[in-house]
Chain A
Amino acid sequence: MQHTDRRDFLKLAGLAGVTFTAGLFPGLKASAQMAGDFHFVQISDTHWGYKGPANPDAEHTLEKAIATVNGLSNKPDFIVFTGDLTHTTEDGAERRARMKRFKEIVSALNVKDVRFMPGEHDAALDKGVAFKEFFGATHYTFDHKGVHFVALDNVSDPGAKLGDEQLAWLAADLKQRKPDDRIVVLTHRPLFDLVPSWDWTTADGAKAIDLLMPYTNVVVFYGHIHQEHHHMTGHIAHHAAKSLIFPQAAPGTQPRRPPPPPFDASLKPLGTRDVAMSSTVTMTELPVTKG
């Protein structure tokens, strides 16, 4: 599918936000034919269970986003949630109640291939125990139409580490790939040092990037920072997604990370993202609209 076609159908559906096209796979020529172009939707940082002034409509935002995704005229092949499905609670029973309710709500998605990943709000206080009960493994791989997806867990360790065991697992997985294989990494926190003084980093994320660096066609999608953001580490692109709960300040704009700004719906601060993949990536932001 051509970039313009995707934009057109999203406009026709009345859903299009900002579209961003990047050289997804720099090791491929623009004219290269893919085994099958496709698109998926990234949803991040839903924080189900949050109550506060940063989002006065928190009880309905997730449902509105699901309505938006279900309204896409061209169904995505799959949907991935990149963490912080639920807002943190120290009460294990409440944590499970939130996960149960979250799962019930997202069952309304009309795409049934849905992948879940944890954020620290889901997993850091119990090292992912409850998350695994409801959603399965916290790190895993899957393949789709010739693209290898790797979901990394940098949150179940409360110190925001991938850990040596997972890094060894990643290294073993990558050894099976060819240097020009298309690889998409999904994770919650930025793998690179976005703003260390705001703790917007992964303690050992540089080790993962080092492992990925020999591969020429790698892109990373993540959440955590509650806003669209694009960054390159060498030839590897890192794309952060908006949240469905409240926006955060732009990276590094103050010495200490400030609390979320007052909610301003006119800024369309919340949304999901459609990712169309061919020889390039086309990301179309899908703002939350009235349900």
Chain B
Amino acid sequence: MNRRHLIALLIGGSAAGGAVRLARAAAPGEIEIQASKFDFTPDTVKVKRGETITLVLTSIDRIHGFKMPDFGIRTDIIPDEERRVTLTPDRAGSFVFFCDVFCGDGHEEMSGTLVVDG
């Protein structure tokens, strides 16, 4: 319950009209993560505890998933769309995120780490 209060989670397409192309610099507090077979770029994201961030997730090839169980986050990542996940990490540490939509040989290695400095 405590985590729910501390983490504001927003998942969804950023434009009601549908597809959004990414061709801009990330806004303050935004961190862009690009998914492709079989990597997240970047695969390590460093933030500070208590800092509110928005992960802007895109895919360049096919549907992937983004799941970070420690913060109860998951969403599909669909080509030509961006998915935005906002959270405020309430604890320091390293937290795994990974693709949870089977995407081929190499899927099982498609993961990354959110590093929260205390």
Contacts and interface: CB of A to CB of B under 8 A. Distances in A.
B17 interface: no
Given A196-B69, A197-B70, A256 B96 contact: yes
Given A255-B94, A256-B111, A158 B67 contact: no
Contact of B65 (A88, A159, A259): A159
Contact of A90 (B67, B94, B104, B109): B104
B40 interface: no
A109 interface: no
B68 to A, nearest CB: 9
B116 interface: no
Contacts, number: 44
Interface string A89-104: 1100000000000000
A120 interface: yes
By CB atoms of chain B within 10 A, which of A155, A160, A199 has the most? A199
Nearest to B94: A255
B113 A256 contact: yes
A87 interface: yes
A257 interface: yes
Contacts of B65: 159
Given A159-B65, A197-B69, A120 B109 contact: no
Contacts of B94: 255
A125 interface: yes
Contacts of A203: 100
Interface in A168-211: 196-197, 199, 203
A199 B65 CA distance: 11
A67 interface: no
Nearest to A158: B102
B100 A199 contact: yes
**A-B CB proximity, top 6 nearest:** A124-B102, A196-B69, A158-B102, A197-B96, A120-B102, A158-B101
Interface of A: 87-90, 120, 124-125, 155, 158-160, 196-197, 199, 203, 255-257, 259
Interface of B: 63, 65, 67, 69-70, 76, 94, 96, 98, 100-105, 107-109, 111, 113
14 contacts: A88-B102, A88-B107, A89-B105, A158-B63, A158-B101, A158-B102, A159-B65, A160-B100, A199-B67, A255-B94, A255-B113, A256-B98, A257-B111, A259-B109
